[in-house]
Amino acid sequence: MADPLIELRGIKKYFPVREAWGRIRHIHAVESVPLSIFPGETLGLVGESGCGKTTLGRTILRLYEPSAGNIFFKGEDITRVNMLPYRRKMQIIFQDPSSSLNPRMTVGEIVGEPIDIHGLAKTREERRERIAALLAKVGLNSEHANRYPHEFSGGQQQRIGIARALAVEPEFIVCDEPVSALDVSIQSQIVNMLEDMQAELGLAYLFIAHDISVVRHISKRIGVMYLGYLVELTGSGELYKNPLHPYTKTLLQAVPIPDPVKTRSRERSVLEGEIPNPMESPPGCPFHTLCPRAMGHCAVTMPDLAEAAPGHRVACHLYTN
């Protein structure tokens, strides 16, 4: 197997919160996540709102500085180095295209800004040609370069964001819920375009999403996060056929099925218990307060993300000796 393009070792991210009387506490957004992403691969990341998916993606790019742990790009530790040279290789597509595009800049200026920062065009003509080629790659035309973001639909704005990410010819892109704000018909167009660009350019993606069906379609492997922890990691098909972690099973049972007969007959587990406070994470497994199969030591010891089957890793005491 090829060496990882991105490798995380024990990454943590805490956010300080100032309370009354000046007391400072911390939200544990990401907790010791071990993760590897390989060249040309799409790794999906799913979980409920607030589980740390977006924080992890932004921490990989050091838009958020990690509280602990190390980030490696092609074997080089980039945790505490100047990131400007690596910005060419690592980019992000944001969730909300309308808020991630500067309303005072034209599309040409938005897409051309990274070209200018990294000195990728020697002349104005070369710059103009690069911008036109990038817009064409995402399904827009050169005339759109003179317009402003508010003149475009949500799907077109996301295409502009994708063109901006591609402007520096990256090797890795964090796709932070890039289709969640779009209509279903537009979602499929954007996902198909991302797949086509991956095949053409050899890109690696970290694809963050709530919709497990979308993640299953585009991803080779899928990781499941809960309360800042990575609780399961395996191949896309394997996760659907054989989910192991109780939280993963609950997520999959919540996916709508467009068949009323199957919907009525499907098995659903109802979670009972208290949702943990991210500022006061319980000891042991973070899911034990809700888990229907929790055991005594689940409240004491956090299980490691261990291999329960070839290529299938899970953090659960049910699968450890």
In a domain, 280, yes or no: yes
How many Å apart are CA 63 and CA 86, to the nearest integer? 12
pLDDT at 20: 77
The 8-class DSSP code of residue 303 comes to P
For tokens 């924080």, name the residue: 55
Give 57-89 pLDDT, tens digit per residue. Answer: 999 999 999 999 999 999 999 999 999 999 999
pLDDT at 187: 87
Q: How confident is the model at residue 261 (pLDDT cuts 50, 70, 90)?
A: confident
Q: Which one, of 89, 83, 79, 70, lies nearest residue 32 by Cα?
A: 70
Token digits of residue 254: 């919540």
Rounded to 10°, the helix 154-166/107-117 angle is: 20
CA dihedral 60, 64, 68, 74 (to 10 degrees): 20
- The enclosing domain of 63 has a CATH number of 3.40.50.300
How many Å apart are CA 218 and CA 198, to the nearest integer? 11
45 close to 206: Cβ distance less than 8 angstroms? yes
pLDDT at 132: 96
For tokens 């492997």, name the residue: 221
The 8-class DSSP code of residue 317 comes to G
In a domain, 137, yes or no: no
DSSP string, 170-227: -SEEEEESTTTTS-HHHHHHHHHHHHHHHHHH--EEEEE-S-HHHHHHH-SEEEEEET
Q: How many residues does the chain have?
A: 321
Q: What is the side-by-side order of every strand in the sheet holding 68-73?
A: 24-37, 6-18, 68-73, 76-77
Tell me the H-state helices in the chain.
53-60, 84-87, 97-100, 107-117, 124-137, 154-166, 184-201, 212-218, 236-241, 246-253, 260-265
In a domain, 253, yes or no: yes
In a domain, 133, yes or no: no
| Domain total of the chain | 1
Q: How confident is the model at residue 321 (pLDDT cuts 50, 70, 90)?
A: low
How many Å apart are CA 282 and CA 39, to the nearest integer? 36
Structural domain range at position 289? 6-89+170-319
> Do β-strands 90-93 and 24-37 pair in parallel, antiparallel, or remain unpaired?
unpaired
Strand partners, 314: 232, 306
Give 92-121 pLDDT, tens digit per residue. Answer: 999 888 899 999 999 999 999 999 999 999
In a domain, 177, yes or no: yes
Question: Percent helix, strand and coil across the chain, each rounded to 5?
Answer: 35, 25, 40
How many Å apart are CA 119 and CA 114, to the nearest integer? 8
Q: Which one, of 81, 78, 74, 69, lies nearest residue 31 by Cα?
A: 69
Give 20-55 pLDDT, tens digit per residue. Answer: 777 888 888 999 888 999 999 999 999 988 899 999
Evaluate the CA torsion angle 52, 33, 165, 189 in order and state its sign: negative
244 close to 314: Cβ distance less than 8 angstroms? yes
Token digits of residue 187: 């979602």
279 close to 290: Cβ distance less than 8 angstroms? no
Strand partners, 73: 6, 76
In a domain, 161, yes or no: no
In a domain, 283, yes or no: yes
Give 6-15 pLDDT, tens digit per residue. Answer: 999 999 999 9
The 8-class DSSP code of residue 101 comes to S
In a domain, 120, yes or no: no
